[in-house]
Amino acid sequence: MKHDGPYTSGVPKLWNATIDAHRNAVREAVLDAAAALVTERGLAAVTMSQIAESSGIGRATLYKYFPDVESILRAWHERQVGAHLAALEQVRASSAAPGAALSSVLHAYGFICHARHGGALAAMLHSDDGLAEAHRRLRDMVTELVAAAASAGEVRGDVPAAELADFCLHALEAARVLESKAAVARLVAVTTAALQPTT
């Protein structure tokens, strides 16, 4: 593991005990730096040299981790989606009743979408194959919650759970274009209303 002196001084945490932990720390620092640069300067303006400098490693080292800017941004986005999934799992675990767990997860997901408001980066990567796996996990989680709530009579049983999950996830994407948190709360309420058992 080679480091180029001048840039490492500010990031002592990179000098960890094990190679694995060290590599991981470098990787995380690169992703943080890339995300900050893209937010600040825009997608098109960011280069490998800037990311290297900003993450406190040499350019040659950076190329040992990632071949190009796009692969860094893809890895960053995967990390984001993974963090969102973990947060949703926690929300889910905090409610015992299936209907309440579903409501809480949909609410949390609505606000996650809202936080990605205007994300050019997310839009660019949205059709990416790399996200297919994360999206599948999200869809599976919501499908399970819908099925459990339907079994408990808290959600309509006349539409397959997977279809209702797709409906919810697509509907809540509208939170991206909403201006206020109040509007996001209304969106979650409208989406949830569609799941009510038909009488």
The pair of structure tokens assigned to 97 is 């009743």
127 binds a second copy (CB under 8 A): yes
The pair of structure tokens assigned to 121 is 């980066």
Dihedrals φ, ψ of 96, to 5°?
-80, -45
126 binds a second copy (CB under 8 A): yes
For a second copy, the closer CB: 9 or 127: 127
Q: Which residues contact 194 (CB under 8 A, 6 or more apart)?
A: 167, 171
For a second copy, the closer CB: 17 or 193: 193
Q: Pick left, alpha or beta for residue 56 (phi over 0 → left; psi -120 to 50 → alpha; otherwise beta).
A: left
User: What binding mask, one character per residue, do residues 75-114 give for a second copy by CB under 8 A, x or -?
Assistant: ----------------------------------------
The pair of structure tokens assigned to 64 is 């040992």
Dihedrals φ, ψ of 4, to 5°?
-100, 110
Encoded amino acid at 150, one letter: A
For a second copy, the closer CB: 70 or 86: 70
Stretch that binds a second copy, among 65-73, 92-100, 101-109, 158-166 (CB under 8 A): 158-166
For a second copy, the closer CB: 35 or 187: 187
CB of 47 to a second copy, least distance (A): 22
The pair of structure tokens assigned to 161 is 């759970």
User: What binding mask, one character per residue, do residues 179-198 give for a second copy by CB under 8 A, x or -?
Assistant: ----x--xx-xxx-xxxx-x
Q: How far apart are CA 7 and CA 164, in angstroms?
A: 51
Q: Is 17 helix (H, G, I), strand (E, B) or coil?
A: coil
155 binds a second copy (CB under 8 A): no
Q: What is the CA radius of gyration of the chain?
A: 20
Stretch that binds a second copy, among 2-10, 14-22, 42-50, 153-161 (CB under 8 A): 153-161
Residue ranges binding a second copy (CB under 8 A): 123-124, 126-127, 156, 158-160, 163-164, 166-167, 169-174, 177-178, 183, 186-187, 189-191, 193-196, 198
